[in-house]
Amino acid sequence: MVRCSHVAPSMKTYREELFFETTTRRASINITPQVETAVRKSGVREGLVLVNAMHLTASVYINDDERGLIKDYDTFLEKLAPHSGTYTHNDTGEDHADAHFKRQIMGREVLVAITNGCLDFGPWEQSVYGEFDGRRRKRVLIKVIGE
């Protein structure tokens, strides 16, 4: 039997929340700088960062933060789940069933590698908060783990 005498460094964890309250129903906000700041605060050099929307009508995704692409996403999502559509959920007094569908399509969270203390993104990749039913306070969780 081989025994390992190596003592692994202790894992660090760090948790932070971001809060958003948009004035419009839909919005896209580049949150890469806030995620980078949280990674720096964590002291993690090698690990992972989870970033997730803590609300059913918002999303966090990774893509290019180019205005034309963001507009194309908005048009695409509106075609798939139009705000003016007929939804049983809206019979409960709500008016945001479409936002639930848009969130499901765009996803709840992203997981990004941390290498040498930096987000390990490809060219043009950015973390984006997608709001599909704004005008009230919502939060995003950032959870960093690693060493």
Q: What is the pLDDT of residues 58-85, one digit of tens each?
A: 999 999 999 999 999 999 999 999 999 9
Vertex 77, ends 110 and 24: CA angle to 5°? 85
Question: Across-strand partners of 18?
Answer: 140
C-beta separation of 35 from 117 below 8 A: no
Given the DSSP bridges, would you call strands 109-115 and 47-53 parallel, antiparallel or unpaired?
antiparallel
pLDDT bracket for residue 10 (50, 70, 90): confident
Q: Which CATH superfamily is domain 12-146 in?
A: YjbQ-like (2.60.120.460)
Domain boundaries, the chain: 12-146
**Average pLDDT for residues 30-49, to the nearest whole number?**
98
pLDDT at 9: 67
3-class secondary structure per residue, the chain: CCCCCCCCCCCEEEEEEEEECCCCCCEEEECHHHHHHHHHHHCCCCEEEEEEECCCCEEEEEECCCHHHHHHHHHHHHHHCCCCCCCHHHHHCCCCHHHHHHHHHHCCEEEEEEECCEECCCCCCEEEEEECCCCCCEEEEEEEEEC
Among 1-10, 32-41, 45-54, where is mean pLDDT lowest? 1-10
Taking the mean position of all CA atoms in its chain, how far away is CA 133?
A: 15
101 has pLDDT over 60: yes
The chain-wide mean pLDDT, for the chain, equals: 95
**Average pLDDT for residues 12-37, to the nearest whole number?**
98
End-to-end CA distance of the chain: 28
Global confidence as pTM? 0.91
pLDDT tens readout for residues 81-95 = 999 999 999 999 999
pLDDT at 5: 59
**Average pLDDT for residues 131-137, to the nearest whole number?**
97
